[in-house]
Amino acid sequence: MYRILSATAVVLGLVLAPAMSGQQTGEEAKKQDLSARTPDCVYVGTPYDVIDKMLETAAIGKGDLVYDLGCGDGRIVVAAARRYGCRGVGYDISPQRVEESLENVRKNRVDRLVTIEQEDIFQLDLGQANVIMLYLLPEMNLRLLPQLKKLKPGTQIVAHDYGIEGIRPDRTATMTSLEDGVKHYVYLFKTPLQKEDQ
């Protein structure tokens, strides 16, 4: 009986090992593919006082799930988790930015609340988020529109400096950052999104 079980285990091992190896190779291939892609824009970190304004504009609460698309060094989701105790997920296609974000999460001890993932933001299902943060170029915001239109009602989208072409913001705020001395714009959109001519 022992020999039969051992032989069966060996056969199962031979069958399962290639499958598991193939799965790992697939995941590794995906990461290599993402890492090989050039980011759609240069990373510029949002000033911290502007982050404060973005979080305040969204009126974030402990029960919210915040997504930051193109998270850079993770400063927005880290700030949200530290100040409000909410969960956050930062997405970036750059492996360097992902590493910086993970270090930021560790340094601020918000590992239990914040996840960082290397992903193509234009391929994501955003349906779980309550709040989505954007600091992207106008054409990138527009490219995200099909995904944003699928969000559940009441989801908040906060965009820094650039709105969404053809979509009317529910609120717009302006401020001059003490960090860089530049005037910044913060746009709040609530789903369902409204066209500008409505």
Quick: pLDDT tens for 125-148: 999 999 999 999 999 999 999 999
Cβ atoms 155, 70 nearer than 8 A: no
Spatial distance between the Cα atoms of 99 and 166, rounded to a whole number of angstroms: 35
Site of tokens 């960082």: 116
* pLDDT reading at 198 higher than 60: no
168: which 2 tokens? 């009317």
- Whether cis (ω within 30° of 0) applies to the bond prior to 192 is yes
What per-residue confidence (pLDDT) applies to 22? Answer: 54
Q: Could you count the other beta carbons within 10 Å of the beta carbon of residue 22?
A: 10
Site of tokens 């001890």: 109
Cβ atoms 70, 126 nearer than 8 A: no
Options 3.40.50.920, 3.30.930.10, 3.40.50.150, 3.30.565.10; CATH of 48-195: 3.40.50.150
* pLDDT reading at 38 higher than 80: no
pLDDT band per the 50, 70, 90 thresholds, residue 108 = very high
112: which 2 tokens? 């239990």
The letter for the amino acid at 75 is R
Rounded mean pLDDT, 151-158: 97
Q: Could you write out the DSSP letters of every residue in 114-132? A: EEEEE--GGG---TT-SEE
**Per-domain residue ranges of the chain:** 1-36, 48-195
Spatial distance between the Cα atoms of 104 and 23, rounded to a whole number of angstroms: 30
pLDDT digits (tens, 9 = 90+) for 76-88: 999 999 999 999 9
Start-to-end CA span in the chain (Å):
76
pLDDT band per the 50, 70, 90 thresholds, residue 10 = very low
In degrees and rounded to multiples of 5, residue 85 shows phi and psi of 70, 20
What per-residue confidence (pLDDT) applies to 44? Answer: 82
